[in-house]
A and B are shown apart, each in its own frame.
Chain A
Amino acid sequence: MTMTRLVAAAAILTVSAGAAVARDRIQIAGSSTVLPYASIVAEAFGENFDYPTPVVESGGSSAGLKRFCEGVGENTIDIANASRPIKSSEIEACAAAGVTEIIEVRIGYDGIVFASDKSGAEFAFTPADWFGALSDKVLVEGALVDNPNTSWAQVNPALPDQPILAFIPGTKHGTREVFEEKVILAGCEATGAFDAIMAENGGDKKEAEKACMILRTDGLSVDIDGDYTETLARISSNPNGIGVFGLSFYESNTDKLRVATMSGVAPSVETIANGDYPVSRPLYFYIKAAHLAEIPGLKDYAEFFLMDEVAGPDGPLAEYGLVSDPELAETQAAVAEERLMN
């Protein structure tokens, strides 16, 4: 009896090894910000085509691109979702593993919003406020000192007198980079700290930018490595906290969150589309061109994703919170021609 079972187990293994050669299902991984959009499209794709529904995993932009760059073949993913553009170091890593042909697809824009507990006070932020609250060093009377602020009112008297406690995305999230660039760095320049750092280090712009983006480590700025649900849970248990979310996440949880304005503009699909709301970033996915011929439906998926009915301003993605790309037609054409990066 034992022997027959072992033989059966061995048989299963052999069959599976044979099946592994021909994968017929698209495998996607990457940004947790893009995940909802990708799964909405994957579901509709499975419904409208005869191909099986693609598999969409999350884990963050960097993790997804790392898996994307592992090589070419059935046991690697076909598409990486990313909430930031691919870095040149990642393109090099890809090339080293044989992934030389990559198609970049921009699907639209996502707003980054700042929200606090629904029962808390209203906030109207500027990037300078966030720099003053979270930066490691701030400018006080013309000198760079360790950040002394512990309350929002100390940063800006117009803000409520509430202790500073910010839940920001961890470094593996693409959102973090946008937050650093469009909020912290912008605030650094606006407060004059940037020029002070430049003056101190002898005019090295790159180093000054880096120095600007060093955040305080005394516990008032908390990195969240998980998803937005974790940020939401932290705020629910700590009503003084202010969290960084994606616009679509906020729109699903308007009963628990109060959104803050940034530079006087409230975030919405409209204000992001017309550029009034300053903190937004493009969302991407990257296709492994070598897989286009191997994996059935891969190109159809990409084209379906970009259809006006899907990614356009009236499509289901916009309804979920994606700000559709004004240059969608250009991207559609690029995918139709399988135009490679560079």
Chain B
Amino acid sequence: MTLRSKSLFAADPHIQSRKRADARFKLYGLAAILAGLALLAVLLGTVIGNGLGAFQQSYLTLEVELLESKLDKNGNRDIEEIKKVTTFGYDPLLTAAAERLIETQNIQTDLRAKDIAKLLSKSAVSDLRDFVVADTSRIGRTVSFDFLVNARVDGYLKGRVTRESIADDKMISAEQLDAVDQLVAAGALVKRFNLDFILGSDASDQRPEAAGIGTAMLGSLAMMLVVLVLTLPVGVSASIYLEEFAPKNRLTDLIEVNISNLAAVPSIVFGILGLAVFINILHLPMSAPLVGGLVLSLMTLPTIIISSRAAMKSVPPSIRDAALGVGASRMQAVFHHVLPLAAPGILTGTIIGLAQALGETAPLLLIGMVGFIASTTPETMGDALLAPNSALPAQIFEWAKRADPAFYERAWGGIIVLLVFLVAMNAVAILLRRRFERRW
């Protein structure tokens, strides 16, 4: 090693190289963060770019005459008889309304009224039937009704469908798109915000335009409720015992190791367990959010126990000692002092655990919550827990599998809803921590 002879103010090569290494290291870190941010931006950009379309839908306004001769042949407004008219019986009304539309809007087309009526969604007849069955006094009147148009027309307005792309398509023709252009110009066909996507139910493969994620969202909420009600008390009790009361011996060590291991068990395992125990042995209903919630509780419990214990461990022993010193019992020390101070940490852990459970699909596959399920909105709390339903991630998975490209857009839209949910839950967790956390 040579002696340094230079001034302290002039850096020698050794120090310079160390400084350069320092700067490089800083740069690596920065690059890592930038790469992460870039990936996040790509992810969010793709999700939003693909999914935003689902929040808008195209509607065609039609004047429909609710013909008594079609809907109530005997004219006695008997609800049972009116219910016998199936949705197929409503098709002629729409064709007649389409004919009137061609006349009043002066649409230049060689197409028959029937082909114009085919621009409508398949859900149009059932919407109309629900409207009539809800109030039979409407029969005989002419009503103005906003109908969804089918996914091809909607895709045309959104730019997804073009005249080239439908060259081989049997479901729509170029002449129909010409008529669509004229209807848009006349203001009868408009694209607007679609609340039904957020609040509505799943629809079958022929009506992607009518599908909504609301019912699946209720399924997810019901499951989260079950998870919260089951895991929070059990998880907190378990962690209080392990942290404050349990003797330190091999048995407790074994329990601790097992809890940590359980937290790492793949979720599909809990799904199989749920199928075997809850459905096949306990005979709980299939596809029910209650069962989904039970399965997800098993999955979430270890996470909550671990985070609750960490929160309680971070409360300084001086607090306990002080409480015990002035004569509090162990239980009083825990409930009056330790638990309130650990609460923010416990809640944060619980919310993170719930958020994790919210995004879980694999265990739901096995208990029958993936498929064409979330098609009727539950009306009561019991229904919400017991009637077959899907969940947000399961619904997204289901849509992504379906043939019609319009479902693909809805799958991305569903992802946006799911992400909003997760961000909201994490924001609550951060807020709670900020507000109540105490540092020692």
Q: Which of B129, B207, B286, B290 has the most CB of A within 10 A?
A: B286
Does A27 interact with chain B (Cβ within 8 Å)?
yes
CB–CB A20/B285 < 8 A: yes
Nearest residue in A to B130 (C-beta to C-beta)?
A47
CB–CB A255/B206 < 8 A: no
CB–CB B166/A255 < 8 A: yes
CB–CB B368/A29 < 8 A: yes
Does A44 interact with chain B (Cβ within 8 Å)?
yes
Fill in one digit per residue for B117-151: 1 if any A CB lies within 8 Å of its CB, else 0. 00000100010011000000000000000000000
Q: Within the complex, what minimum Cβ distance (angstroms) separates B368 from chain A? A: 6
CA distance A9 to B382 in the complex (A): 13
Q: Within the complex, what minimum Cβ distance (angstroms) separates A98 from chain B? A: 14
CB–CB B229/A251 < 8 A: no
Which of these binds chain B: A55-63, A106-114, A139-147? Answer: A55-63
Does A316 interact with chain B (Cβ within 8 Å)?
yes
CB–CB B403/A228 < 8 A: yes
CB–CB A57/B370 < 8 A: yes
Q: A2-B237, A229-B400 are in contact. Are A254 and B166 (CB under 8 A)?
A: yes
| B:166-212 near A, CB below 8 Å | 166-171, 203-207
CA distance A35 to B371 in the complex (A): 9
Main secondary structure of the interface of A (DSSP, over half): helix
CA distance A66 to B137 in the complex (A): 50
Cross-chain contact of B87 among A20, A29, A47, A58 (Cβ < 8 A) = A47
Q: Within the complex, what minimum Cβ distance (angstroms) separates B282 from chain A? A: 7
Does B236 interact with chain A (Cβ within 8 Å)?
yes
Q: Find chain A residues with CB under 8 A from B385 CB.
A: 12, 16
Q: Within the complex, what minimum Cβ distance (angstroms) separates B27 from chain A? A: 35
CB–CB B204/A57 < 8 A: no
Does B280 interact with chain A (Cβ within 8 Å)?
yes
Does A36 interact with chain B (Cβ within 8 Å)?
yes
Q: A19-B285, A40-B204, A320-B205 are in contact. Are A25 and B230 (CB under 8 A)?
A: no
CA distance A19 to B168 in the complex (A): 50
Fill in one digit per residue for A304-341: 1 if any B CB lies within 8 Å of its CB, else 0. 00000100000010011000000000000000000000
CA distance A75 to B277 in the complex (A): 12
Q: Within the complex, what minimum Cβ distance (angstroms) separates B184 from chain A? A: 21
Q: Within the complex, what minimum Cβ distance (angstroms) separates A5 from chain B? A: 5
Which of these binds chain A: B8-16, B47-55, B56-64, B372-380? Answer: B372-380
Q: A16-B288, A19-B285, A46-B376 are in contact. Are A252 and B204 (CB under 8 A)?
A: no
Q: Find chain A residues with CB under 8 A from B203 CB.
A: 43
Q: Which of A73, A229, A256 has the most CB of B within 10 A?
A: A229
Q: Find chain A residues with CB under 8 A from B165 CB.
A: 254-255
Cross-chain contact of B373 among A15, A17, A55, A319 (Cβ < 8 A) = A55
Does B86 interact with chain A (Cβ within 8 Å)?
yes
CB–CB B387/A75 < 8 A: no
Q: Within the complex, what minimum Cβ distance (angstroms) separates A188 from chain B? A: 31
Q: Within the complex, what minimum Cβ distance (angstroms) separates B194 from chain A? A: 19
Q: Find chain B residues with CB under 8 A from A20 CB.
A: 283-285
Does A38 interact with chain B (Cβ within 8 Å)?
yes
CB–CB A39/B204 < 8 A: yes
Nearest residue in A to B122 (C-beta to C-beta)?
A316
Fill in one digit per residue for A242-258: 1 if any B CB lies within 8 Å of its CB, else 0. 00000011011111100
7 further A-B contacts with Cβ under 8 Å, apart from A16-B386, A48-B86, are A21-B283, A38-B372, A56-B373, A75-B280, A75-B284, A249-B403, A255-B168
22 contacts between A and B (CB under 8 A): A2-B237, A8-B229, A20-B285, A27-B287, A32-B401, A36-B205, A36-B402, A38-B372, A39-B205, A40-B205, A43-B375, A46-B376, A47-B130, A55-B368, A57-B287, A226-B401, A228-B403, A229-B400, A252-B403, A254-B167, A255-B161, A256-B405
The 9 closest A-B pairs by CB, nearest first: A57-B371, A255-B165, A39-B372, A36-B205, A254-B168, A56-B372, A252-B403, A43-B204, A39-B204
